[in-house]
Structure 1
């Protein structure tokens, strides 16, 4: 009968062999979504959301625990979403620059959704920044519905920079 020491050695060898399989780089494709930031189009991936209806509609993960990030002091910013997809979402921040050199310590890929709807009689026009969205609300052109829906939407391409592998 093999000794316990031999069993541990064989187990460690199998674990190391398995680890090398998982260490290999694999490529997957995720759809890039467009958003506006300070008048420019940026791209993000939508992977998780705390709303089951949106999760099913977009084919992403339903993660109810994301709503727990709405506690005071947590890094969650507003994302201005147009529920009928009249235009791309407006984000108030992005990593600067995208990637490992990001110097914006306040950026987070977690967003609480603010639904933006055009008021009756107003001709919709493209809003390309948080300032433009807030100005449209101040003029009475749009109305906001603040939600407790949190989305994980990491920005992966902006201002000519992109994460490795983003095409």
Structure 2
């Protein structure tokens, strides 16, 4: 008899905990985005201070770039002041093997934002491209004269979703 009472009490306690947990998650404050689902989306890698971070490329402020990149055109991104957006460096023309985008910041840094100011890098004809992995390295190469930088007014929404080790 005691065994039945103990078993019944344990079942009632388990049911109470389950209901309380469900109620707690339903009544917890904060906005709800709905249930999460897994989707397939291309992810890219880029360098930050010598290591690789993984990022998504979802939106751009330029209509022609949106079409070329097969991503969303988001004109509202033009309202982000260029001076507040960190730089994403993209090499145009000849490049070193394995060259990826280079970020000027990453999550955890005070200057991080998922909205980036696009900066185009070009190697001079007389220069031999080297693999660039940091904005500091880019600045040094520019000072030496082999690499040129061209700021654009394009803003890219490219959130970094995984910070690499480095």
Q: Alignment length, in residue pairs? A: 130
Aligned to 1:124: 129
- Correspondence 1:69 to 2:74: no
Secondary structure of the residue aligned to 2:112 is coil
Instruction: Output the CA distance in 2 between the equivalents of 1:155 and 1:107.
Output: 9
- Equivalent in 103, 107, 112 of residue 112 of structure 2: 107
Instruction: Output the CA distance in 1 between the equivalents of 2:82 and 2:107.
Output: 22
- Once the two structures are TM-superposed, the CA of residue 55 in structure 1 deviates from its matched residue by 1.1
Secondary structure of the residue aligned to 2:80 is helix
Over 3 Å counting, the alpha-carbon distance change for 1:85 and 1:24 in structure 2 is: farther
- Once the two structures are TM-superposed, the CA of residue 149 in structure 1 deviates from its matched residue by 0.2
Over 3 Å counting, the alpha-carbon distance change for 1:71 and 1:120 in structure 2 is: closer
Question: For each residue in 1:17-59, what CA deviation from the matched residue of structure 2 results, as whole angstroms up to 9, or x when unmatched?
Answer: xxxxx83322211111111101111110000001222211211
Aligned to 2:35: 24
Structure 2: give runs of 5+ residues left out of the alignment.
1-32
Structure 1: give runs of 5+ residues left out of the alignment.
1-21, 97-103, 161-167
Over 3 Å counting, the alpha-carbon distance change for 1:55 and 1:116 in structure 2 is: same
2:93/2:123 contact within 8 Å kept: no
Aligned to 1:81: 90
- Once the two structures are TM-superposed, the CA of residue 92 in structure 1 deviates from its matched residue by 1.4
Under a length normalisation based on structure 2, what TM-score does the superposition of the two structures give? 0.72
1:70/1:148 contact within 8 Å kept: no
- Once the two structures are TM-superposed, the CA of residue 84 in structure 1 deviates from its matched residue by 4.2
Instruction: Output the CA distance in 2 between the equivalents of 1:71 and 1:158.
Output: 24
- Correspondence 1:90 to 2:95: no
Higher helix share: 2
Over 3 Å counting, the alpha-carbon distance change for 1:85 and 1:141 in structure 2 is: closer
